[in-house]
Structure 1
Amino acid sequence: MSGGTREGERSPSSNPASGADSVRVPFIYRLIQIVSAWCLRRLAGVHVEGLQNVPASGPCILVANHQSALDPVLLQSSCPRTVYTMTKSTQFASPFFRVFLGWTRTFPTRRYRVDPQSVRILLRLLGEGEAVCLYPEGERSWDGVLQPLRKGAVRVLLHDGVPVIPVGIEGTYDVLPRWASRPRRGYAMYLRFGAPLDLGVHRTRAEREAALPEAEELLRSVLRKLSGEVSREAERVSNGRGLEMTGPSTAARNLLG
């Protein structure tokens, strides 16, 4: 990693605040939430469902599909508690972004490989009672469809005692797809927090490895429903139209608890 922080070093944002942040949102974070929410609503319609599924305090992992660079902005501006998230380490090369990402409680991870340091930061945050968001695809989708899930991300979910909240994001791909240079108006964005997943109890590494395929399949199935992908596919089959990324998903609502 270039810039002032090498990939093997912690950036300023990797020093998490105390667990009290889970309940008492820091001022600068709250200010960014308000500004981000205002900007998003000026850009597109924003619909949030299932917030009652997010614990008010204590550790939890939010697991979301990744359609757009707007995803963390939408999620963090819509969730009432502080949510930590990770992004590719190259974003921290710029001093300005390094400071801003620290304000938004973002810490670096190296893409396309196992990054023990980011995992340690994540586990420490959970131990301090924080909420952390993971995007198990590892990168934004090129076509708005859920990509294969990274096994390393799924392994993290199998640590006992931490609630896992699936989050479906729909519509951000329409507003700002990965290949676009600027956002587009006239679309709606949906953020759906599903009921906590039951991934079982796994006390040993061997048990976690054995449970990995089933956990991966469950997570993929739930994320596809919450993000509206299943309903869009059904609609495409029934009426012969192309895949659409707009409009609320009725199937997704069934998973909101």
Structure 2
Amino acid sequence: MKGFYRFARMVVYSLLKPLYRVEIIGIENFPKTGPVLLCSNHIDNLDPPIIGITAPRQIKFMAKEELFKIPVLKNVIHMLGAFPVKRGFADRDAIRMGLKVLKEGEVLGLFPEGTRSKTGKLGKGLAGAGFFALRSRAIVLPCAIIGPYKLLGKVKVVYGKPIDFEQFRKQKISAEQATEIIMREIQHLLEKDPSSYV
């Protein structure tokens, strides 16, 4: 991790730790090296920092363009490695940046739903996640955030088993089909017997 990212991680951890009991599950599933496409459900604005303080490697998030229009915040998230994406249509600059992150062997963080779930339930994933999985050599890492975020309540971050997409690349499945595979794995983590996470 780079210096500023490490520092910011410590600051965010110190701020969130008194507010939520964050439990990390499956951290051993997180690849130590190589390109990783981390895909998670999205239930709250706190999801990116929660993942950031629990992941053992720096995450470069693809974030909605609106965040980069907020003074001060835009500079901070840019320094943390995040980059903007225009929602609603194919953003070629964001696609190029995402592929660059993976090509350089880093971790790209995505919320395939594209926006926060208003019900807390997993929504339909967009084809972008599948596109990055198929067009790169990255290992796909499903992640589930189990809330809700309640003051002093428990928030669980579950890292699932990595998905090796090489077989799917050879089968030349569509980006939509690839995303469905990823979303099924995230759903599986959300539906897993709660007692197994105690």
TM-score by length of 2: 0.91
Residues 85, 160 of structure 1: alpha-carbon distance in 2 compared, 3 angstrom cutoff: closer
Range moving further from structure 2, 151-160 or 132-141: 151-160
The answer as to whether partners of 1:85 and 1:105 remain within 8 angstroms in 2 is yes
- Structure 1 residues 12-37: Cα deviation after superposition (integer angstroms, max 9, x where no partner): xxxxxxxxxxxxx1111111111111
Among candidates 102, 122, 145, match of residue 126 of structure 1: 102
Contact 1:85 1:106 in 2 (8 A): yes
Contact 2:103 2:136 in 1 (8 A): no
**Once superposed, what is the RMSD of the aligned Cα atoms?**
2.0
Structure 2 CA distance for partners of 1:252 and 1:46, relative to 1, 3 Å: closer
Within 5 Å, which residues of 2 pair with 1:67-146? 67-146=43-122
Contact 1:65 1:146 in 2 (8 A): yes
**CA shift digits 1:121-155 (9 cap, x unpaired):** 01011111111111100001001100111022222
- Cα shift at 1:220: 2.0
The aligned counterpart of 1:249 is 194
1:153-192 aligned within 5 A: 153-171=129-147, 174-175=148-149, 184-192=150-158
Tell me, which stretches of 5 or more residues in structure 2 are unaligned?
A: none
CA distance in 1, matches of 2:87, 2:58: 24
Question: CA 1:201 to 1:224, structure 2 compared with 1: closer, same or farther past 3 Å?
Answer: closer
Q: Does 1:202 align with 2:169?
A: yes
Distance in 2, matches of 1:96 and 1:105, equals: 15
1:188 maps to a residue whose letter is: K
| 2:188 counterpart (218, 225, 230) | 225
**Bigger Rg, which one:** 1
Moved over 3 A (4+): 250-253
The higher relative CO (CA closer than 8 Å, separation ≥ 6) is in 2
Higher percent of residues as strand: 2
Q: When the two structures are aligned, how many residues end up with a matched partner?
A: 197
Q: Pick one of 5, 13, 18 that aligns with 1:37.
A: 13
How big is each residue's C-alpha offset from its partner over 1:149-172, in whole Å with a ceiling of 9 and x where there is no partner? 10222222123521111011111x
Give TM-score scaled by structure 1 length. 0.71
Deviation at 1:251, TM superposition (A): 6.2
Aligned residue identity for 2:169: H
